[in-house]
Amino acid sequence: MAKSLSLGNGNILVCMDKRAQVRDFYFPYVGLENHIGGHFTHRVGVFANNQLNWFDHSNWDIKVHAADQSMIGETVAKNAHLGVTLNFSDTVYNEKNIFLREVVVTNDSNETREIKLFFGHEFEIYESHRGDTSYFDPIHHTLVHYNGKRVFLVNGLSHKGSFDDYTAGIFKIEGKEGSFKDAEDGMLSKNLIEHGPSDSVIGFYLEIPAHESKTIHYWVAAGESIKETLALNAYVLEKSPSHIIKTTRDYWHAWVNKYNFTFYGLKKEEISLFKRSLLTIRTHADNRGAIIASADSDMQQNGRDTYSYMWPRDGALSAMAFDMAGDFNVAERFFDFCDHVITDDGYFMHKYRPDESLGSSWHPWMRNGKIELPIQEDETALILIALWNHYAESKDLEFVEKVYNSLVKRAADFMVGYREPTTRLPKASYDLWEEKFGIHTYTAASVYSALTVAAKFAKLLGKERSEHIYTTAAFEIRQAILNYLYDEEAGYFIKMINVADDGSITYDRTLDMSSVYGIFAFGVLDASDQRVARAIKQVEERILVKTAVGGIARYEGDVYFKSTHGGPGNPWIITSLWLAQYYIELAKKDADFAPVHQWLEWASRHTTASGIFSEQLNPETGEPISATPLTWSHSEYIMTVLKYLNRLEELGICLKCNPLYASE
C-alpha cells in the first residue's frame, strides 16, 4: 500500500497509509529499525452508537492531505454511519523525538453523545518481538513499550486531562488477534503489563453536544531509555502539544521558503509540489548523512527487502536537489557519509544502511567463473558529480579540501584504472536499473563527467599531475562512447555492449531513455546535437506510453511491475522528467518551454492526493506502482524546476528567477 504521508526530523520517520494509520515508525535512524515493521498497524477507531469502527472499516471516508508548505499531515475522516467527523493535524516535532496528532472530534448528530476515540499500537521493537514489553505506568499515567534501548511512551490530553482508558496485551500469538478487539464493546480491560509480541490501546471518552467539537492531543515519545521518554513527555505537558505543532509548522514553512524563487510561468499546484518534494526528501534524510530511497516498507524487492537503504545513486541525486535548492547542510552530511563508506580501492558498493553498514545485495562477486566487482559504477561517478555541484553552489573549498584525497582522488583513480582494455570504456558493471551487466552508455557517460569534475577539483587544489590524468581519461572515454555506443544507422545510443576476452563485441541495442539522457545530462554532447535529437525522436516514438496516462517508460520491453500486456513498459516519473530536462536545455526563447510546461503539468497530475510521487505508474489507471514515496522521483522534480528557472535566467527571460543561481 502506497504511503500517503511521511513525517520526520532526521531521527524519526513516521509513514501513514491512505487510511491515516501509522504503518512505519523508524527510530533512531531514518530507514533503519522500523518498529512497526510495515506489516503491523497503529490503528485509530471511534466507538459511537454502540459500535466501533476502526479506520480500516468501509464506513469511513478518509482523505489524507499534507499542509501547504509545511511538514504537517492534514486528514479528514468522516463516518456518516456513526455521525462523527475527525480532523487530524499530524507532525513529528522538528526539535525532539516526538510524534504528535491533534484530533478535532465533531459530533455530527442532533443529540449530545459520548464519543470514544481509540488509538491502538502494534510495536515490533528492533523488528523482532523477542523481549518486547508494554505496560501502564500509573505514576505518570502513560503507556510504555520498550525493549532494551528502544522506548516508546504513549500519552495524550483532552479537556479532562490524560487518556481515560487503557490496556496492554499480546497479539498474533496464543490465538489472540490483538488488544484492538478489546475495544469492540467500548471499554478496555485495563490489563497492566504484557511481554513478547505486546500491543496496547488507549481511549479518550468525550461527551460532545450536538454539532459541536472537542479536541484531543495524542503523542508518542521515542528514546533510548525510559528516563529519556519521561523527560520528553514532561516537555510536551509543559510546552503544550498545540504549541509544539504550531512551532513545527512554522519551522518547516520557514525552511521551505527561505529563498525567493519566482517560479516564473509555473502553476500554483506545480509550485506547491516543488515545496512538497523538498519536504518529502528531507524526511528521508538521516541526521548522520544517509538519504534513503524510500521509507515505504510495503515495497519489497522480490518480496525480500525494502527500499529503505542509501543507494549512492539516489542519495547523490537528492544531495544535488538539496544543494540546488540551497540546503547545503544536508548535502554536506551526505558527502561525509560517502567519505566514510567508500572502499579503500575507490568504489561504492550497491547500497548501505543508514548506520554506514553494507546493505543487502543481489549482485554476485563472480560471473562465468571470473571475479567481478558487484558494483554499479555510475553510483561512484555520481557522487563526484554531485560533490562538484555542491562546491559550485556552496563555494565551500574547505570541505572539498577535507575530502579530496579520501573521496575525490580515491574514486577518480579507481575510475581511471577500471577500464576495458580494447575500447578504453569503463569496465562492465551493473546498470543503473540494477538488472544487466555490461558496459552501459549511461554509466560510461557518468564516468566521463565524473573524471571531468575530478580534473576541476584537482586544478582547484593545484594537483596538476592528477588534473592531466583525469582530463586524459575523460577525453578517451568520450571518444570511445561516440565510437562504440552510438548506432548511426538506427539513430540512437544503444543500451550496452559486452567485450569478450578475444576483443569481440556483443551489442544490446535496446532503446533506453537513460542512454540518451546520460549523453546530454553528463555533457558528452550538447542537447542540440543532431545525434541527441535523433535519439530523443526515437524515445518519443517508441517508449512514450500511448495511453491516457502517458509518460515515458524506462526502456523498450521493460517488464518490471508491468501490469498490462502491450506497450513499452510502465511510465516512470524519473524518465518523464528527463525528457522535460532535455527540452529545458534545448530552449532558446520563452515559447520553447511549452513541452517543459506539459511535462511539469503531467507530473503534478500524477501524485497522490497528499503530493507524493511513486516510482512508476499503472499505464491504464495512473495509480502509483512500487515505492511511494520515492526520493529519486521527488529529487528529479526539484531539479527539473530549478534547471528551468536557471535556463530562464541564462536566456534573460526572467531576472533573478533563482536567487541561488549564478551563471558562469
Which tens digits make up the pLDDT trace of 578-621? 999 999 999 999 999 999 999 999 999 999 999 999 999 999 99
The closest alpha carbon to 31, from 332, 455, 356, belongs to 356
Does the pLDDT value for residue 297 go beyond 90? no
Does the pLDDT value for residue 562 go beyond 90? no
Its pTM stands at 0.96
> Each residue of 19-50: b (16+ CB within 10 Å) or e?
bbbbbbbbbbbbbbbbbbbbebbbbbbbbbee
The closest alpha carbon to 167, from 140, 198, 197, belongs to 198
Domain count, the chain: 1
Per-residue confidence (pLDDT) for residue 301, from 0 to 100 = 44
Grid cell locating 71:
511538514
16 domain residue, yes or no: yes
What distance in Å separates the CA atoms of residue 189 and residue 178, rounded to the nearest whole number? 13
623 domain residue, yes or no: no
The closest alpha carbon to 460, from 399, 509, 513, belongs to 399
634 domain residue, yes or no: no
- The torsion angles phi and psi of 614, rounded to 5 degrees, stand at -90, 180
Type of residue numbered 279: L
DSSP state, residue 358: B
What distance in Å separates the CA atoms of residue 247 and residue 500, rounded to the nearest whole number? 62
Which tens digits make up the pLDDT trace of 115-127? 999 999 999 999 9
What distance in Å separates the CA atoms of residue 95 and residue 74, rounded to the nearest whole number? 20
CATH number, domain of 43, equals: 2.70.98.10
Do residues 73 and 90 touch, judged by C-beta distance below 8 A? yes
Any bridge partners for residue 218, and if so which? 101, 156
Do residues 554 and 514 touch, judged by C-beta distance below 8 A? yes
Which tens digits make up the pLDDT trace of 350-378? 999 999 999 999 999 999 999 999 999 99
Per-residue confidence (pLDDT) for residue 204, from 0 to 100 = 98
Does the pLDDT value for residue 108 go beyond 50? yes
Do residues 199 and 171 touch, judged by C-beta distance below 8 A? yes
- Report the pLDDT averaged over residues 232-256: 97
What distance in Å separates the CA atoms of residue 548 and residue 622, rounded to the nearest whole number? 9
152 domain residue, yes or no: yes
End-to-end CA, the chain = 45
481 domain residue, yes or no: no
Which tens digits make up the pLDDT trace of 630-661? 999 999 999 999 999 999 999 999 988 888 87
Chain-wide mean pLDDT for the chain?
A: 95
- In terms of residue numbers, what domain contains 115? 3-255
Mark residue 223 as left, alpha or beta (left: phi above 0; alpha: psi -120 to 50; beta: remaining): beta
Q: How confident is the model at residue 662 (pLDDT cuts 50, 70, 90)?
A: low
Per-residue confidence (pLDDT) for residue 138, from 0 to 100 = 98
Query: Residue 305's CB: how many other CB atoms inside 10 A?
Result: 15
Q: How confident is the model at residue 296 (pLDDT cuts 50, 70, 90)?
A: confident
Per-residue confidence (pLDDT) for residue 299, from 0 to 100 = 61
Per-residue confidence (pLDDT) for residue 435, from 0 to 100 = 96
What distance in Å separates the CA atoms of residue 500 and residue 394, rounded to the nearest whole number? 44
Grid cell locating 423:
575500447
610 domain residue, yes or no: no
DSSP result, 494-560:
-SEEEE-TTS-EEEE---BHHHHHHHHHTTSS-TTSHHHHHHHHHHHHHTB--SSS--EESBTT--T
The lowest-confidence range among 163-167, 239-243, 609-613 is 609-613
| Bridging pattern class, strands 213-223 and 3-8 | unpaired
Per-residue confidence (pLDDT) for residue 1, from 0 to 100 = 57
- Report the pLDDT averaged over residues 313-337: 97
| Bridging pattern class, strands 552-553 and 571-572 | antiparallel
DSSP state, residue 183: G
324 domain residue, yes or no: no
Q: How many CA atoms lie within 13 A of 162 on its CB side?
A: 18
Per-residue confidence (pLDDT) for residue 303, from 0 to 100 = 56
Would you call the peptide bond into 426 cis, given omega within 30 degrees of 0 as the criterion? no
Percent of the chain predicted with pLDDT > 90: 92
Query: Residue 507's CB: how many other CB atoms inside 10 A?
Result: 14
Angle between helix 464-484 and helix 410-417 axes, rounded to 10 deg: 40
Per-residue confidence (pLDDT) for residue 178, from 0 to 100 = 87
325 domain residue, yes or no: no
Q: SS3 for 365?
A: coil
Which tens digits make up the pLDDT trace of 408-442? 999 999 999 999 999 999 999 999 999 999 999 99
DSSP state, residue 209: -
Which tens digits make up the pLDDT trace of 436-472? 999 999 999 999 999 999 999 999 999 999 999 999 9
What distance in Å separates the CA atoms of residue 451 and residue 473, rounded to the nearest whole number? 7
Grid cell locating 130:
523477542
Type of residue numbered 222: A
Alpha-carbon dihedral angle through residues 352, 618, 585, 271, given to the nearest 10 degrees? -90
DSSP result, 289-349:
S-B-S---TT--GGGS--S-SB-HHHHHHHHHHHHHHT-HHHHHHHHHHHHHHS-TTS---
* Dihedral over Cα of 626, 124, 216, 79: its sign: positive
The closest alpha carbon to 600, from 322, 259, 268, 258, belongs to 268
Per-residue confidence (pLDDT) for residue 238, from 0 to 100 = 98
Which tens digits make up the pLDDT trace of 64-98? 999 989 999 999 999 999 999 999 999 999 999 99
Do residues 260 and 4 touch, judged by C-beta distance below 8 A? no
The closest alpha carbon to 570, from 609, 626, 638, 511, belongs to 626
